[in-house]
Structure 1
Amino acid sequence: MTEITDGSDRLPAVQKKLLAAYSFGHFMTDLICAFGMISLILCLQDRDQIVLLLFLYNFCAFALQMPVGLMADYADRNSVFAVFGLVLTASVLLLPVYHFPVVFAVLLGIGNCCFHVGGGTDVLHFRTKKQWPLGVFVSPGAFGLFLGTLAAKMVSDPLQSLLSENPSVSIGGGFVFPDSFSVLYASAVFLAPAVVLVSAVIVFSAAVFYLSPPGTSSGNGPVDIRPVCAGTKTVSTKTVRMKTDGAENVSTKNVSTKNVSMGIPLAALILFVLVVILRSYAGMTFSFSWKTGLWAFAVVAGVVLGKTCGGFLADRFGTGRTSFVTLLFCAFLFLFPDNPVCGTLAVFLFNMTMPLTLFETAKMFPNARGFAFGILTTALFIGFLPILAGFPEIPLPRPVFYASEALVSMIFLLTGLYIAGGKAGVMKTAGRERTEKQRDAGTEKQRDAGTEKQRDAGTEKQRDAG
């Protein structure tokens, strides 16, 4: 795939279609994973086993994206990773591995990982100066999680009764493969979803491979995992030619175009990672007593629209302004979490920064964007661990706690943007650069003066000799 670097708002028709396909695939992948894991957990009684399965699934789905993303960068076949991921997740539901919970959770997580790496890396290569494609890609996943969880709860009772009455039956994520007449009813119930699932996977795979053939390069380029930013030190060579007594002397010297510490990109990256860890943890701690029925759907819609609108607003007003305004108003609205309107709007604003952090991190890894994608998904996994371990919440009133999470996220994100923009490094070394310029200017004057004296002396000698 050819990368667009002109910064225009227009995507080529092929990339628009590919973005639509990946967004649909994201919806399907998260729906399948949510349905599979929730339906499995609801059939289990042992809490330790549930914790183990959740850990394994989330580790494979999120933490593995960093090494798999690096593999995708080198392989340069992003569409292959995306199609393989969705096919694997669907296969886990349809194959009889439901009675092997560990295998089920691991395979489901690996499929999730591969799809996100392939699709996310391809979208990151659409263009380098616009963020809205990222928002469009990441947002449908929230709807998939919501509908998958809802579907799993709807079928949990039939599944539990089926497992208790037929302990030897082979079940794949709720889709039943009958080996006796006692499960014919259940197989009829799950036959239609199975057909729809297989059809959706076939359509997705055909569309992606048609738009981005598996044998063609994705345009990832040579891989380099060293982070860069606007203030990174770059060194070039300058050639200086001087003529003395008719002879030309050539010398070279290194010139630093931006004299900034190489630790600047790493500092910005750490702040972006902290923002994502906090966002992951905060998303798990948000609790609203009114989140039922239509309001539950409204919150999910807020998550989806927030991620989508965040990219468009950042393109229009800038990443810094968008982050500051949205998170500041979000913190204010979180002071009233018992009000459904305020709570929904706060969730909407809180999710706007999701594509922004991903885009800014990807800019720091222009030659390893799959790896960059994986860094932030690993941060999501880290933010999930305290909840999985059952750590108690910070002993603060709920409104203060929620508002504090938004404000701390804003501080980390704005500081990271400031550093990544090179401003901190430029300010730090401005005096040093001025000193170097003055020293170079002084050296140049001395050299010119010396050359002038030598020329005058030579002319004087020639005149005396004549």
Structure 2
Amino acid sequence: MKNLSVFLASLMHFCVDALCLCCLYLTTGNAHDYLVYNVLAFLTQPLTGIIVDKINGKYNVLFSAVVLFLMATSMAVLTPDYKTVIAVLLGAGNSLFHVWGGREVAIVTKNDIRALGIFVSPGVLGLAVGAFLCSWMLLFILLIAIGILTTIHFCIVNGNASVGSDNHLKTNKMAVLLMIAICVVVMLRSYLAGGFSSGADSDGGYMVLIAAAVAMSGKFLGGFLARLAGSYMTAFVIFVVASVACLVAKNYVGGVVYVGLFAVNCTMPVTLHWAEKLLPGREGFSFGLLAASLMPPYFLSYF
């Protein structure tokens, strides 16, 4: 049953990210609204994680996210002038879903690094599909798909599957320092991934989808590589590969950017796995904290 839960959550991840970006592309081109969306979708995840861990619940969180997506889609059709409100609904729903999904997968698989990679990987491809192929038809298909997948999860997956552990160990100073270090690593990874992505996207056309597929494969395979070779060895090798790619790929151009893009994304399940180990019983918060750490490099692009 845990494999089914991971599979459904991963499919929903693809659909949710695709729906959010598709809806934004169809309703607004305003940078302010994109900023509002990203702030709510990412920076609120630590707080969302604290709340979700506290209520130790499951379907009320997923259901709330789906309701917000339904409201945003309805407003996009009926009252498209309320662009900022639509961005708020999408961002809040995105935050709820990602914390629910990350927590669900971490709990039901007992922090399996492979499962974490499987869950996080489809999101980047969903973003590319939602942006590159955006249309009203796609938006409705994605909303229906989310509804169907949620219903299947309700009906088939054990209702108590994601009830977390009561083992909230006292966090020591070393754990706090290590979490700060992991967050810094995630920020650096976000900066490098942004550089490699921009280099790949500059080729235009379907290369955007190819770049997304490369990033997705890195996240997916990163967990399996770490399980095979160990998370520390995998992180070290990936760091070396990414560093070489940065030195070779002048101005983030050329085929080597795809190597760098693959490498930096391999570390995502590794850092998630480390964070979950450092904060046992706080699966939602640890996932949300790393998600929020992705944003500082994004904000730098505004200056």
Q: TM-score scaled by structure 2?
A: 0.90
Instruction: Determine the C-alpha separation between the residues in 2 that align with 1:21 and 1:206.
Output: 10
Instruction: Determine the C-alpha separation between the residues in 1 that align with 2:55 and 2:21.
Output: 29
Q: 1:327 to 1:194 in 2, by over 3 A?
A: closer
Instruction: Determine the C-alpha separation between the residues in 1 that align with 2:253 and 2:72.
Output: 41
Contact 1:74 1:223 in 2 (8 A): no
Contact 1:36 1:93 in 2 (8 A): yes
Q: 1:370 aligns with which of 281, 284, 288?
A: 284
1:143 counterpart = 2:125 = yes
Q: Equivalent residues in 2 for 1:68-83 (5 A)?
A: 68-83=48-63
Q: 2:150 maps to which residue?
A: 205
1:115 counterpart = 2:97 = yes
Instruction: Determine the C-alpha separation between the residues in 2 that align with 1:369 and 1:194.
Output: 31
Contact 1:295 1:340 in 2 (8 A): no
Shift of 1:352: 0.3
Q: 1:324 aligns with which of 227, 232, 236?
A: 236
Contact 2:16 2:142 in 1 (8 A): no
Shift of 1:330: 2.0
Instruction: Determine the C-alpha separation between the residues in 1 that align with 2:283 and 2:141.
Output: 33
Q: Among the aligned pairs, what percent are the same residue? A: 27
Higher helix share: 2
Q: 1:270 aligns with which of 180, 183, 196?
A: 180
Q: 1:22 aligns with which of 9, 13, 17?
A: 9
* Amino acid in structure 2 at the alignment position of 1:64: T
Question: Who wins on radius of gyration, i.e. which is larger?
Answer: 1
Contact 1:73 1:223 in 2 (8 A): no
Q: 1:288 maps to which residue?
A: 199
Q: Equivalent residues in 2 for 1:211-360 (5 A)?
A: 211-212=156-157, 214=159, 216=160, 218-222=162-166, 224=168, 226-227=170-171, 262-286=172-196, 287-288=198-199, 291-337=203-249, 340-360=254-274
1:102 counterpart = 2:84 = yes
Instruction: Determine the C-alpha separation between the residues in 2 that align with 1:379 and 1:41.
Output: 26
Query: Helix, strand or coil for the counterpart of 1:335?
Result: helix
Instruction: Determine the C-alpha separation between the residues in 2 that align with 1:296 and 1:195.
Output: 23
Aligned residues: 297
Q: What are the superposed Cα offsets for residues 85-119 of structure 1, whole Å, 9 maximum, x if unpaired?
A: 23422431223342112211111100101110111
Shift of 1:226: 4.3
* Amino acid in structure 2 at the alignment position of 1:36: C
Q: What are the superposed Cα offsets for residues 137-178 of structure 1, whole Å, 9 maximum, x if unpaired?
A: 0000011000111124xx5xxxxxxxxxxxxxxxxxxxxxxx
Q: What are the superposed Cα offsets for residues 361-403 of structure 1, whole Å, 9 maximum, x if unpaired?
A: 011111111011111112122332211x32xxxxxxxxxxxxx
For CA contacts below 8 A with separation 6 or more, give which structure has more relative contact order: 2
Q: What are the superposed Cα offsets for residues 15-68 of structure 1, whole Å, 9 maximum, x if unpaired?
A: 1111111011000110011112233333xxxxxxx3432222111111111111
Superposition CA RMSD, Å:
2.2
Structure 1 unaligned regions, length at least 5? 1-13, 43-49, 156-189, 228-261, 391-466
Instruction: Determine the C-alpha separation between the residues in 2 that align with 1:376 and 1:225.
Output: 20
* Amino acid in structure 2 at the alignment position of 1:302: V
Higher strand share: 1
Shift of 1:299: 1.6
